[in-house]
Amino acid sequence: MVELTVKPVLAYSVYERREATSWRAWGGIADEESAEEERRRIKAELKNLEQRAGFPLKFLPVGMVKSYGDVDRLEKADVYLLYAAGGDEGLLIGVAYRGPTVVFLRHRSGPLYLWYEIIDARLIRRYNDRIGQVWLDYDDVVVDDYEELLRRLRALYALKNTLGARVVAVGGASGWGIGGKAVELARARWHLDIVEVSYAELAERIKKAMGDERCLEEAKRMAKEYLSEEGVRLETREEFVVNAFVLYLVFKQLLEEHEARIITVNECMTTIMPIAKTTACLALSLLNDEGYLALCESDFVAIPAAILLHYASGKPVFLADPTLPHDGIVTVAHCTAPRLMDGRSREPARILTHFESDYGAAPKVEFRKGQVVTVLIPDFEEKTWVGFRGKIAEAPFLPICRSQAEIEIEGDWRRLLRELRGFHWLIVYGDYLREVSYALKKVGMEFVEIG
Protein backbone atom coordinates (compact mmCIF):
# COMPACT_ATOMS: atom_id res chain seq x y z
CA MET A 1 0.00 0.00 0.00
CA VAL A 2 1.38 3.37 -1.06
CA GLU A 3 0.47 6.41 1.04
CA LEU A 4 -1.27 9.43 -0.43
CA THR A 5 0.74 12.65 -0.04
CA VAL A 6 -1.32 15.83 0.11
CA LYS A 7 -0.04 19.39 -0.11
CA PRO A 8 -2.38 21.86 1.64
CA VAL A 9 -2.25 25.31 0.03
CA LEU A 10 -3.81 28.46 1.46
CA ALA A 11 -4.52 31.00 -1.29
CA TYR A 12 -5.19 34.47 0.08
CA SER A 13 -4.89 38.21 -0.60
CA VAL A 14 -3.73 41.14 1.50
CA TYR A 15 -5.65 44.43 1.19
CA GLU A 16 -4.99 48.04 2.18
CA ARG A 17 -7.78 50.41 3.20
CA ARG A 18 -8.54 53.19 0.73
CA GLU A 19 -11.02 55.98 1.29
CA ALA A 20 -14.27 56.25 -0.69
CA THR A 21 -13.73 53.13 -2.82
CA SER A 22 -14.08 49.36 -2.66
CA TRP A 23 -10.74 48.14 -1.37
CA ARG A 24 -11.37 44.52 -0.35
CA ALA A 25 -13.18 41.44 -1.62
CA TRP A 26 -15.53 39.19 0.33
CA GLY A 27 -14.05 37.04 3.05
CA GLY A 28 -12.61 36.99 6.55
CA ILE A 29 -8.92 36.82 5.60
CA ALA A 30 -7.54 40.15 4.46
CA ASP A 31 -4.08 40.53 6.06
CA GLU A 32 -1.00 38.52 7.02
CA GLU A 33 -2.09 38.10 10.63
CA SER A 34 -5.43 36.51 9.76
CA ALA A 35 -3.72 34.37 7.10
CA GLU A 36 -1.22 33.07 9.63
CA GLU A 37 -4.01 32.31 12.07
CA GLU A 38 -5.80 30.39 9.32
CA ARG A 39 -2.62 28.45 8.52
CA ARG A 40 -2.43 27.30 12.14
CA ARG A 41 -6.12 26.36 12.09
CA ILE A 42 -5.64 24.29 8.92
CA LYS A 43 -2.58 22.55 10.36
CA ALA A 44 -4.50 21.51 13.49
CA GLU A 45 -7.53 20.33 11.51
CA LEU A 46 -5.42 18.24 9.15
CA LYS A 47 -3.45 16.68 11.98
CA ASN A 48 -6.74 15.45 13.42
CA LEU A 49 -7.88 14.22 9.99
CA GLU A 50 -4.63 12.34 9.37
CA GLN A 51 -4.95 10.53 12.70
CA ARG A 52 -8.44 9.23 11.97
CA ALA A 53 -8.18 8.71 8.21
CA GLY A 54 -7.98 4.91 8.36
CA PHE A 55 -5.62 4.72 5.38
CA PRO A 56 -1.99 5.82 4.77
CA LEU A 57 -2.28 9.59 4.41
CA LYS A 58 0.45 12.22 4.78
CA PHE A 59 -0.15 15.97 4.83
CA LEU A 60 2.82 18.13 3.88
CA PRO A 61 3.33 21.56 5.50
CA VAL A 62 0.71 24.17 4.61
CA GLY A 63 1.85 26.31 1.69
CA MET A 64 1.00 30.03 1.69
CA VAL A 65 0.18 31.41 -1.76
CA LYS A 66 -0.57 35.04 -2.63
CA SER A 67 1.61 35.43 -5.76
CA TYR A 68 2.49 33.37 -8.82
CA GLY A 69 6.02 32.93 -7.50
CA ASP A 70 4.60 31.24 -4.41
CA VAL A 71 2.83 28.71 -6.67
CA ASP A 72 6.06 27.88 -8.48
CA ARG A 73 7.75 27.07 -5.18
CA LEU A 74 5.14 24.52 -4.02
CA GLU A 75 6.54 21.01 -3.46
CA LYS A 76 5.23 18.06 -5.45
CA ALA A 77 2.42 15.91 -4.07
CA ASP A 78 -0.17 13.38 -5.18
CA VAL A 79 -2.99 15.80 -4.42
CA TYR A 80 -3.21 19.55 -3.81
CA LEU A 81 -5.71 20.60 -1.17
CA LEU A 82 -6.53 24.19 -2.03
CA TYR A 83 -7.97 26.38 0.73
CA ALA A 84 -9.39 29.11 -1.52
CA ALA A 85 -9.65 31.99 0.92
CA GLY A 86 -8.69 34.59 -1.68
CA GLY A 87 -6.41 35.34 -4.61
CA ASP A 88 -7.30 35.82 -8.26
CA GLU A 89 -8.43 32.99 -10.53
CA GLY A 90 -5.04 32.74 -12.22
CA LEU A 91 -3.49 31.92 -8.86
CA LEU A 92 -5.97 29.09 -8.23
CA ILE A 93 -5.58 27.77 -11.77
CA GLY A 94 -1.83 27.70 -11.24
CA VAL A 95 -2.28 25.38 -8.26
CA ALA A 96 -4.80 23.17 -10.08
CA TYR A 97 -2.40 22.82 -13.03
CA ARG A 98 0.16 21.13 -10.79
CA GLY A 99 -1.94 17.97 -10.30
CA PRO A 100 -5.21 16.57 -8.92
CA THR A 101 -6.78 19.28 -6.77
CA VAL A 102 -9.53 19.32 -4.17
CA VAL A 103 -10.82 22.76 -3.12
CA PHE A 104 -11.92 23.40 0.45
CA LEU A 105 -14.18 26.41 1.12
CA ARG A 106 -15.31 27.86 4.41
CA HIS A 107 -18.84 29.02 5.04
CA ARG A 108 -19.38 28.34 8.76
CA SER A 109 -16.30 26.32 9.79
CA GLY A 110 -14.07 29.39 10.12
CA PRO A 111 -13.54 32.75 8.42
CA LEU A 112 -15.66 32.89 5.27
CA TYR A 113 -13.68 32.46 2.03
CA LEU A 114 -13.94 34.70 -1.03
CA TRP A 115 -14.26 31.74 -3.40
CA TYR A 116 -17.34 30.49 -1.54
CA GLU A 117 -19.05 33.24 -3.55
CA ILE A 118 -17.42 33.04 -6.98
CA ILE A 119 -15.96 29.57 -7.58
CA ASP A 120 -18.92 28.43 -9.69
CA ALA A 121 -19.29 31.21 -12.26
CA ARG A 122 -15.65 32.27 -12.43
CA LEU A 123 -13.54 29.16 -11.94
CA ILE A 124 -15.73 26.13 -12.73
CA ARG A 125 -17.95 27.51 -15.51
CA ARG A 126 -15.42 30.17 -16.61
CA TYR A 127 -18.13 32.72 -17.51
CA ASN A 128 -20.14 30.09 -19.44
CA ASP A 129 -23.38 28.26 -18.74
CA ARG A 130 -21.59 24.91 -18.53
CA ILE A 131 -18.30 23.68 -17.10
CA GLY A 132 -15.69 25.63 -19.02
CA GLN A 133 -12.36 24.01 -18.06
CA VAL A 134 -10.73 20.65 -17.29
CA TRP A 135 -9.11 21.30 -13.90
CA LEU A 136 -12.07 21.20 -11.53
CA ASP A 137 -15.53 19.69 -11.29
CA TYR A 138 -18.23 20.37 -8.71
CA ASP A 139 -17.27 17.10 -7.01
CA ASP A 140 -13.78 18.53 -6.44
CA VAL A 141 -15.18 21.24 -4.15
CA VAL A 142 -16.00 20.69 -0.46
CA VAL A 143 -17.63 23.28 1.78
CA ASP A 144 -16.88 23.03 5.54
CA ASP A 145 -17.26 19.24 5.72
CA TYR A 146 -14.09 17.33 6.61
CA GLU A 147 -15.89 13.99 6.34
CA GLU A 148 -16.64 14.77 2.70
CA LEU A 149 -13.04 15.84 2.20
CA LEU A 150 -11.88 12.54 3.65
CA ARG A 151 -14.10 10.67 1.16
CA ARG A 152 -12.40 12.50 -1.74
CA LEU A 153 -8.95 11.73 -0.39
CA ARG A 154 -9.87 8.10 0.27
CA ALA A 155 -11.04 7.79 -3.34
CA LEU A 156 -7.79 9.29 -4.63
CA TYR A 157 -5.80 6.97 -2.39
CA ALA A 158 -7.73 4.01 -3.82
CA LEU A 159 -7.10 5.22 -7.34
CA LYS A 160 -3.38 5.65 -6.71
CA ASN A 161 -3.12 2.08 -5.42
CA THR A 162 -5.28 0.63 -8.22
CA LEU A 163 -3.49 2.19 -11.17
CA GLY A 164 -0.47 0.04 -11.98
CA ALA A 165 -1.23 -2.52 -9.27
CA ARG A 166 0.67 -5.80 -9.53
CA VAL A 167 -1.50 -8.91 -9.71
CA VAL A 168 -0.17 -12.46 -9.47
CA ALA A 169 -2.32 -14.59 -11.79
CA VAL A 170 -1.92 -18.30 -11.02
CA GLY A 171 -2.84 -20.33 -14.10
CA GLY A 172 -2.82 -17.23 -16.30
CA ALA A 173 -4.94 -14.12 -16.72
CA SER A 174 -8.44 -14.31 -18.20
CA GLY A 175 -11.90 -12.80 -17.96
CA TRP A 176 -15.31 -14.29 -17.28
CA GLY A 177 -17.11 -14.77 -20.59
CA ILE A 178 -14.72 -12.66 -22.71
CA GLY A 179 -11.31 -14.19 -21.97
CA GLY A 180 -8.27 -12.21 -23.09
CA LYS A 181 -10.25 -9.09 -24.02
CA ALA A 182 -10.78 -8.45 -20.29
CA VAL A 183 -7.02 -8.66 -19.69
CA GLU A 184 -6.32 -6.17 -22.49
CA LEU A 185 -8.91 -3.73 -21.14
CA ALA A 186 -7.61 -4.05 -17.55
CA ARG A 187 -4.10 -3.26 -18.74
CA ALA A 188 -5.22 -0.38 -20.96
CA ARG A 189 -7.58 1.30 -18.47
CA TRP A 190 -5.86 0.51 -15.18
CA HIS A 191 -2.28 -0.24 -16.28
CA LEU A 192 -2.29 -3.42 -14.22
CA ASP A 193 1.03 -5.23 -13.92
CA ILE A 194 -0.04 -8.86 -14.33
CA VAL A 195 2.49 -11.54 -13.37
CA GLU A 196 1.43 -14.95 -14.66
CA VAL A 197 2.46 -18.10 -12.77
CA SER A 198 1.87 -21.42 -14.51
CA TYR A 199 0.21 -24.41 -12.92
CA ALA A 200 3.42 -26.36 -13.62
CA GLU A 201 5.31 -23.94 -11.38
CA LEU A 202 2.55 -24.05 -8.76
CA ALA A 203 2.66 -27.86 -8.76
CA GLU A 204 6.41 -27.81 -8.10
CA ARG A 205 5.97 -25.33 -5.26
CA ILE A 206 3.19 -27.38 -3.65
CA LYS A 207 5.21 -30.59 -4.01
CA LYS A 208 8.16 -28.91 -2.33
CA ALA A 209 5.96 -27.53 0.46
CA MET A 210 4.32 -30.93 1.06
CA GLY A 211 7.76 -32.49 1.36
CA ASP A 212 9.00 -29.86 3.80
CA GLU A 213 8.43 -31.13 7.33
CA ARG A 214 8.58 -27.67 8.86
CA CYS A 215 6.04 -26.34 6.34
CA LEU A 216 3.68 -29.25 7.04
CA GLU A 217 3.98 -28.81 10.79
CA GLU A 218 3.27 -25.08 10.43
CA ALA A 219 0.19 -25.82 8.28
CA LYS A 220 -1.08 -28.33 10.85
CA ARG A 221 -0.50 -25.86 13.69
CA MET A 222 -2.30 -23.06 11.86
CA ALA A 223 -5.19 -25.34 10.88
CA LYS A 224 -5.64 -26.50 14.47
CA GLU A 225 -5.56 -22.92 15.72
CA TYR A 226 -8.06 -21.80 13.06
CA LEU A 227 -10.49 -24.63 13.76
CA SER A 228 -10.34 -23.95 17.50
CA GLU A 229 -11.48 -20.35 17.05
CA GLU A 230 -14.85 -19.42 18.48
CA GLY A 231 -17.50 -19.46 15.78
CA VAL A 232 -15.70 -21.93 13.48
CA ARG A 233 -17.28 -25.32 12.81
CA LEU A 234 -15.60 -28.08 10.78
CA GLU A 235 -17.91 -29.98 8.42
CA THR A 236 -15.37 -31.44 6.00
CA ARG A 237 -12.25 -33.59 6.38
CA GLU A 238 -9.52 -31.99 8.47
CA GLU A 239 -6.85 -32.98 5.93
CA PHE A 240 -8.52 -30.66 3.41
CA VAL A 241 -8.07 -27.78 5.87
CA VAL A 242 -4.40 -28.65 6.50
CA ASN A 243 -3.78 -28.76 2.75
CA ALA A 244 -5.54 -25.41 2.41
CA PHE A 245 -3.03 -23.93 4.84
CA VAL A 246 -0.18 -25.42 2.80
CA LEU A 247 -1.67 -23.74 -0.26
CA TYR A 248 -2.06 -20.50 1.71
CA LEU A 249 1.66 -20.59 2.57
CA VAL A 250 2.55 -21.22 -1.10
CA PHE A 251 0.35 -18.33 -2.27
CA LYS A 252 1.84 -16.04 0.38
CA GLN A 253 5.35 -16.95 -0.75
CA LEU A 254 4.40 -16.06 -4.34
CA LEU A 255 3.04 -12.70 -3.20
CA GLU A 256 6.18 -11.92 -1.24
CA GLU A 257 8.53 -12.95 -4.05
CA HIS A 258 6.70 -10.78 -6.58
CA GLU A 259 6.20 -7.91 -4.09
CA ALA A 260 2.46 -8.01 -4.72
CA ARG A 261 -0.67 -7.59 -2.59
CA ILE A 262 -3.14 -9.17 -5.04
CA ILE A 263 -3.47 -12.76 -6.23
CA THR A 264 -6.01 -14.58 -8.38
CA VAL A 265 -6.41 -18.21 -9.41
CA ASN A 266 -7.62 -19.35 -12.83
CA GLU A 267 -9.55 -22.58 -13.37
CA CYS A 268 -9.77 -22.95 -9.60
CA MET A 269 -12.72 -25.37 -9.76
CA THR A 270 -10.82 -28.17 -11.53
CA THR A 271 -7.13 -27.67 -12.25
CA ILE A 272 -5.97 -26.81 -8.75
CA MET A 273 -7.71 -29.65 -6.90
CA PRO A 274 -5.53 -32.58 -8.07
CA ILE A 275 -2.41 -30.49 -7.43
CA ALA A 276 -3.24 -29.13 -3.97
CA LYS A 277 -5.40 -32.03 -2.73
CA THR A 278 -7.93 -29.41 -1.66
CA THR A 279 -9.68 -26.37 -3.12
CA ALA A 280 -8.34 -22.83 -3.19
CA CYS A 281 -11.40 -21.44 -1.38
CA LEU A 282 -10.18 -21.41 2.21
CA ALA A 283 -6.63 -20.39 1.26
CA LEU A 284 -7.94 -17.31 -0.56
CA SER A 285 -10.30 -16.49 2.31
CA LEU A 286 -7.35 -16.54 4.74
CA LEU A 287 -5.32 -14.17 2.56
CA ASN A 288 -8.25 -11.77 2.32
CA ASP A 289 -8.48 -11.69 6.09
CA GLU A 290 -4.77 -10.78 6.28
CA GLY A 291 -5.25 -7.66 4.17
CA TYR A 292 -4.29 -9.11 0.79
CA LEU A 293 -6.76 -9.20 -2.09
CA ALA A 294 -7.24 -12.84 -3.09
CA LEU A 295 -9.76 -13.73 -5.78
CA CYS A 296 -10.82 -16.85 -7.62
CA GLU A 297 -11.45 -17.33 -11.35
CA SER A 298 -8.81 -14.84 -12.61
CA ASP A 299 -11.64 -12.62 -13.82
CA PHE A 300 -10.07 -9.38 -15.04
CA VAL A 301 -13.54 -8.03 -15.79
CA ALA A 302 -14.06 -7.80 -12.03
CA ILE A 303 -10.52 -7.56 -10.62
CA PRO A 304 -10.00 -3.79 -11.22
CA ALA A 305 -13.29 -3.09 -9.41
CA ALA A 306 -12.26 -5.37 -6.56
CA ILE A 307 -8.93 -3.55 -6.19
CA LEU A 308 -10.55 -0.10 -6.20
CA LEU A 309 -13.24 -1.11 -3.71
CA HIS A 310 -10.67 -2.80 -1.46
CA TYR A 311 -8.54 0.34 -1.20
CA ALA A 312 -11.53 2.70 -1.01
CA SER A 313 -12.97 0.79 1.95
CA GLY A 314 -9.83 -0.51 3.61
CA LYS A 315 -11.70 -3.81 4.07
CA PRO A 316 -11.79 -7.27 2.50
CA VAL A 317 -13.95 -7.59 -0.61
CA PHE A 318 -16.27 -10.49 -1.38
CA LEU A 319 -16.32 -11.45 -5.08
CA ALA A 320 -19.63 -13.18 -5.70
CA ASP A 321 -21.85 -14.74 -8.31
CA PRO A 322 -25.14 -12.81 -8.54
CA THR A 323 -28.61 -14.09 -9.26
CA LEU A 324 -31.58 -12.31 -10.81
CA PRO A 325 -32.75 -9.35 -8.70
CA HIS A 326 -36.45 -9.60 -7.92
CA ASP A 327 -38.93 -8.07 -5.50
CA GLY A 328 -36.25 -5.82 -4.03
CA ILE A 329 -33.85 -8.62 -3.14
CA VAL A 330 -30.94 -10.50 -4.73
CA THR A 331 -28.98 -13.60 -3.73
CA VAL A 332 -25.18 -13.59 -4.03
CA ALA A 333 -22.81 -16.46 -3.32
CA HIS A 334 -19.25 -17.75 -3.70
CA CYS A 335 -16.81 -19.93 -1.80
CA THR A 336 -13.89 -17.58 -1.08
CA ALA A 337 -15.55 -15.05 1.23
CA PRO A 338 -13.43 -13.28 3.84
CA ARG A 339 -14.48 -13.59 7.48
CA LEU A 340 -12.98 -10.24 8.52
CA MET A 341 -15.62 -8.36 6.56
CA ASP A 342 -15.69 -5.28 8.79
CA GLY A 343 -11.88 -5.16 8.98
CA ARG A 344 -11.88 -5.77 12.75
CA SER A 345 -13.71 -8.92 13.88
CA ARG A 346 -14.27 -12.30 12.25
CA GLU A 347 -17.71 -13.52 11.32
CA PRO A 348 -18.68 -17.10 12.29
CA ALA A 349 -18.05 -19.72 9.62
CA ARG A 350 -18.81 -23.34 8.82
CA ILE A 351 -15.96 -25.04 6.96
CA LEU A 352 -17.57 -27.25 4.32
CA THR A 353 -16.64 -28.76 1.00
CA HIS A 354 -16.64 -26.66 -2.16
CA PHE A 355 -20.23 -27.05 -3.43
CA GLU A 356 -19.84 -28.05 -7.09
CA SER A 357 -17.11 -30.61 -6.41
CA ASP A 358 -18.15 -31.60 -2.88
CA TYR A 359 -14.41 -31.64 -2.19
CA GLY A 360 -11.86 -29.61 -0.28
CA ALA A 361 -12.44 -26.82 2.23
CA ALA A 362 -14.62 -23.76 1.71
CA PRO A 363 -15.94 -21.32 4.31
CA LYS A 364 -19.63 -20.60 4.68
CA VAL A 365 -19.31 -17.16 6.23
CA GLU A 366 -22.34 -16.12 8.27
CA PHE A 367 -22.71 -12.56 7.05
CA ARG A 368 -24.08 -10.10 9.58
CA LYS A 369 -27.83 -9.57 9.30
CA GLY A 370 -28.81 -5.91 8.98
CA GLN A 371 -25.33 -4.90 7.79
CA VAL A 372 -25.24 -2.13 5.18
CA VAL A 373 -23.15 -3.13 2.17
CA THR A 374 -21.83 -1.55 -1.01
CA VAL A 375 -22.39 -3.64 -4.14
CA LEU A 376 -20.31 -2.85 -7.22
CA ILE A 377 -21.05 -4.28 -10.69
CA PRO A 378 -18.26 -3.81 -13.28
CA ASP A 379 -19.02 -3.98 -16.99
CA PHE A 380 -17.40 -6.04 -19.75
CA GLU A 381 -16.15 -2.90 -21.56
CA GLU A 382 -14.50 -0.99 -18.65
CA LYS A 383 -16.66 2.04 -19.43
CA THR A 384 -19.59 2.07 -16.98
CA TRP A 385 -19.88 0.47 -13.56
CA VAL A 386 -23.10 0.14 -11.58
CA GLY A 387 -23.45 0.29 -7.81
CA PHE A 388 -26.03 0.25 -5.07
CA ARG A 389 -26.37 0.21 -1.31
CA GLY A 390 -28.02 -2.81 0.22
CA LYS A 391 -28.64 -4.51 3.52
CA ILE A 392 -27.99 -8.15 4.37
CA ALA A 393 -31.37 -9.70 5.12
CA GLU A 394 -30.27 -13.29 5.57
CA ALA A 395 -27.32 -15.68 5.21
CA PRO A 396 -29.18 -18.78 3.93
CA PHE A 397 -27.92 -22.30 3.21
CA LEU A 398 -29.07 -22.96 -0.34
CA PRO A 399 -27.56 -25.62 -2.67
CA ILE A 400 -25.16 -23.09 -4.22
CA CYS A 401 -21.68 -21.72 -3.43
CA ARG A 402 -21.15 -21.86 0.30
CA SER A 403 -20.92 -18.21 1.44
CA GLN A 404 -24.35 -16.76 0.71
CA ALA A 405 -26.26 -13.57 1.33
CA GLU A 406 -29.74 -12.32 0.57
CA ILE A 407 -29.32 -8.58 0.00
CA GLU A 408 -32.17 -6.07 0.19
CA ILE A 409 -31.65 -3.57 -2.64
CA GLU A 410 -31.86 0.10 -1.71
CA GLY A 411 -33.54 1.88 -4.58
CA ASP A 412 -35.37 0.81 -7.72
CA TRP A 413 -34.60 -2.88 -8.26
CA ARG A 414 -36.38 -2.79 -11.63
CA ARG A 415 -33.98 -0.10 -12.79
CA LEU A 416 -31.13 -2.29 -11.55
CA LEU A 417 -32.35 -5.04 -13.91
CA ARG A 418 -32.12 -2.63 -16.85
CA GLU A 419 -28.64 -1.49 -15.84
CA LEU A 420 -27.04 -4.91 -15.27
CA ARG A 421 -23.61 -5.43 -16.81
CA GLY A 422 -20.72 -7.90 -16.66
CA PHE A 423 -21.15 -10.88 -14.34
CA HIS A 424 -19.29 -10.99 -11.01
CA TRP A 425 -20.28 -8.54 -8.29
CA LEU A 426 -18.10 -7.10 -5.50
CA ILE A 427 -19.51 -6.66 -1.99
CA VAL A 428 -18.01 -4.84 0.98
CA TYR A 429 -19.37 -3.87 4.39
CA GLY A 430 -20.22 -0.16 4.62
CA ASP A 431 -21.19 2.61 2.19
CA TYR A 432 -18.47 3.61 -0.31
CA LEU A 433 -20.50 4.60 -3.35
CA ARG A 434 -19.33 8.22 -3.29
CA GLU A 435 -15.67 7.19 -3.17
CA VAL A 436 -16.14 4.86 -6.15
CA SER A 437 -18.06 7.46 -8.15
CA TYR A 438 -15.41 10.14 -7.54
CA ALA A 439 -12.54 7.80 -8.45
CA LEU A 440 -14.19 6.61 -11.67
CA LYS A 441 -14.74 10.16 -12.85
CA LYS A 442 -11.00 10.74 -12.54
CA VAL A 443 -10.27 7.97 -15.06
CA GLY A 444 -13.01 8.99 -17.48
CA MET A 445 -15.50 6.27 -16.59
CA GLU A 446 -19.19 6.53 -15.81
CA PHE A 447 -20.92 5.35 -12.67
CA VAL A 448 -24.60 4.46 -12.42
CA GLU A 449 -25.86 4.54 -8.86
CA ILE A 450 -29.12 2.75 -8.16
CA GLY A 451 -30.95 4.50 -5.38
Please tell me whether residues 311 and 432 are part of one structural domain.
Answer: yes
- What is the C-alpha separation between 242 and 424, in angstroms, rounded? 29
| CATH code: domain of residue 366 | 3.20.14
Q: Which of 136, 160, 184 is the endpoint of a domain?
A: 160
- Cβ distance 315 to 342 under 8 Å? yes
Which of 30, 31, 38 is CA-nearest to residue 62?
Answer: 38
The amino acid that residue 130 corresponds to is R
Are 147 and 170 within one domain? no
Number of helices and strands in the chain (H, E): 14, 20
Is 330 in the same domain as 385? Answer: yes
Beta strands 193-197; 425-429: pairing state: unpaired
134 and 26 in a common domain:
yes
Looking at 160, 187, 216, the residue that finishes a domain is: 160
Parallel/antiparallel/unpaired status of strands 63-65 and 79-84: unpaired
Cα atoms in the Cβ-side hemisphere of radius 13 Å centred on 253: 14
Pair (237, 225) in one structural domain: yes
- Mark whether 250 and 301 lie in a shared domain: yes
Number of domains in the chain: 2
- Both 181 and 148 in one domain: the answer is no
Give Dmax over CA atoms of the chain in angstroms: 91
Asked if residues 401 and 333 have their Cβ atoms less than 8 Å apart, the reply is: yes
193 - beta bridge partners?
A: 166
Closest CA to 83 of 4, 159, 125, 146: 146
Whether the CB-CB separation of 367 and 350 falls below 8 Å is answered with: no
* 124 shares its domain with 169: no
Burial (CB count <10 Å: 0-12, 13-18, 19+), residue 237 = middle
Residue 97, class by beta-carbon neighbours within 10 Å (0-12 exposed, 13-18 middle, 19+ buried)?
A: exposed
Confirm if 278 and 271 have CB atoms less than 8 A apart. no
Question: Helix, strand, or coil here: 333?
Answer: strand
Integer angstrom CA distances of residue 295 from 8, 99, 170, 283, 314: 37, 33, 10, 10, 16
Say whether both 79 and 134 belong to one domain: yes
User: Does 185 share its domain with 293?
Assistant: yes
Considering the domain architecture, whether residues 227 and 81 belong to the same structural domain is answered as: no
From residue 146, give the alpha-carbon distance in Å to each of 137, 191, 371, 396.
18, 31, 25, 39
Instruction: Give the range of the structural domain holding residue 56, as residue numbers without chain letter.
Output: 4-160
Q: Phi and psi for 10 in degrees, rounded to 5?
A: -100, 110
Residues 329, 391 share a domain: yes
79-84 and 4-11 as β-strands: parallel, antiparallel, unpaired? parallel
CA–CA separation, 100 and 137 (whole Å): 11
Q: What pLDDT, on a 0 to 100 scale, did the predictor assign at position 272? A: 86
CATH number assigned to the domain comprising residue 133: 3.40.50
Q: Of 322, 369, 321, 313, whose CA–CA distance to 342 is shortest?
A: 313
What phi and psi, each to the nearest 5 degrees, are found at residue 17? -65, 135
What's the 3-state SS for 24-44?
CCCCCCCCHHHHHHHHHHHHH
Beta bridge partners of 426: 319, 376
Work out the burial of residue 381: count CB atoms within 10 Å of its CB; fewer than 13 is exposed, 13-18 middle, 19 or more buried: middle
CA separation (Å) from 231 to 228, 234, 335, 347? 9, 10, 18, 7
Could you read off the pLDDT tens digit of each residue along the chain, which spans 451 residues?
Answer: 799 999 999 999 999 899 999 989 999 999 999 999 999 999 999 999 999 999 999 999 999 999 999 999 999 999 999 999 999 999 999 999 999 999 999 999 999 999 999 999 999 999 999 998 888 999 999 999 999 999 999 999 999 999 999 999 999 999 999 999 999 999 999 999 999 999 999 999 999 999 999 999 999 999 999 999 999 999 999 999 999 999 999 999 999 999 999 999 998 777 889 999 999 999 999 999 999 999 999 999 999 999 999 999 999 999 999 999 999 999 999 999 999 999 999 999 999 999 999 999 999 999 999 999 999 999 999 999 999 999 999 999 999 999 999 999 999 999 999 999 999 999 999 999 999 999 999 999 999 999 8
**CA-to-CA distance for 103 and 245, rounded, in angstroms?**
48
> Model's pTM, two decimal places?
0.96
* Domain boundary residue, one of 160, 177, 197: 160
Helix (H, G, I), strand (E, B) or coil at 121: helix
